[in-house]
Amino acid sequence: MPPELAALQDWMQEAILAASDRGARAHVHGDNRLTAEERVQIYARGYRQRLIECLEREYPLLAALAGPTAFGLFAQGYVAARPSRSYTLYDFGAGFPAWLEASRPAGGAQDVGAIPAALARIERTKAEVHRARGIERGAPAWPGMDPVLAELLALAATRRWYRPDSARLLALPFDFGEMLATGEPIPPRPEPMLLAVVRAQYRIACLPLEPWQYDWLAVLPDDPARAVPLPDDARISLWLPFATAHGLAAPG
């Protein structure tokens, strides 16, 4: 590796990440339109803008609820603390919920300061479900048969079940039900909420769950090869058509 090239790249990356123009004139030409410092700053500004826009796209409800000033502070803090280390921008926002939780003022799980991290968990989960391996490509249990009839047969048979990667579960300290139903930045109620973020036919839904629904889905394996039989619980048997139709569970 050429040492001069390595030193130059180390310097430029530091200048971009720290938004510092120190050393610019030693390395970069300036002219009567733009100084060397201004040219380096084009890259430094572009770096921040690109990553902040990435967070705005991935966390639109949080951005709307927090407002531009507060969200800007969140995003700038995260960009400064956690430079991307992945080849894909998709990975960049993955640590945002945990960073928000670690950065909030000390307090209880249902303090107002805990809302951003909780909401960010939902939005990150939606992004992950968007790309996850889903059930859309699953071979029909009975090829050629009417799908409804096939589903009834599947339910009637003693099948084994798993939870697809495109069905994620969240136990939240706030009830975001109204916000999720309307898409509007309505503040949540300080009550626990069990939620499934799920994809079926490439459409993502956030479904509130009862504790017994959550508990059953939580113990289902995510590998079809390790699918398990239904428990002896009439509530689950009755709910199963809904769960399968929405992609929460699938026959293994």
Partner 1 sequence: MTLPRLGLPNPGDGLGLREEHFPHLMSTPPESWGVDWFEAITENLLDNAGYGMRVFEHVAAHRPVVLHGVSLSIGSTAPLDMAYLGKLRALAERFRPLWISDHLCWTGVQGVNSHDLLPMPLTEAALAHVADRVHQVQDFLGRPLIVENPSTYLEFRASQMPEAEFLARLCEATGCGLLLDVNNVHVSSFNHAQDPIAYLEGIPAAHVVQVHLAGPSDHGTHLIDTHDAPVPDAVWPLYAWVWERCGPVATMVEWDAGIPEFDVVAAELAKARRVREGLSLAA
- Specify the stretch interacting with partner 1 by CB under 8 A; choose among 41-49, 72-80, 93-101, 110-118: 41-49
CA angle centred on 128, ends 124 and 131, rounded to 5°: 145
- x/- mask, partner 1, residues 82-121, rule CB under 8 A, reads -xxxxxxxx-x-----------------------------
Q: Rounded to the nearest whole angstrom, what is the least distance from the CB of residue 210 to partner 1 in the complex? A: 28
Residue 171 and residue 190: Cα distance in Å, rounded?
13
Least separation in angstroms between CB 132 and partner 1: 6
Distance between CA atoms of residues 63 and 71, nearest Å: 5
C-beta closer to partner 1: residue 133 or 235: 133
**139 near partner 1 (CB under 8 A):** no
H/E element holding 205? strand 203-208
Q: CB 126 → partner 1: shortest distance, Å?
A: 11
Binding mask 183-222 toward partner 1 (x if CB under 8 A, else -) reads ----------------x--x--------------------
Which pair of tokens denotes residue 122? 């939902």
Q: State the DSSP code for 115.
A: H
Which residue among 20, 21, 47, 160 contacts partner 1 (CB under 8 A)? 47
* Cα of 238 vs its chain's centroid, Å: 31
Name, in order, each residue with C-beta under 8 angstroms of 3's C-beta and a sequence gap of 6 or more.
none
Q: Which residues contact 163 (CB under 8 A, 6 or more apart)?
A: 217, 220, 221, 222, 248, 249, 250
Going by C-alpha positions, the residue among 183, 169, 167 that lies closest to residue 62 is 183
9 in contact with partner 1 (CB under 8 A): yes
- Span of 71-79, 81-89, 178-186, 228-236 interacting with partner 1 by CB under 8 A: 81-89
Task: Report the interface residues with partner 1, using CB under 8 A.
Answer: 1-2, 4-6, 8-10, 12-13, 16-17, 26-29, 31, 33-34, 36, 38-40, 42-43, 46-47, 50-51, 83-90, 92, 130-134, 136, 165, 199, 202
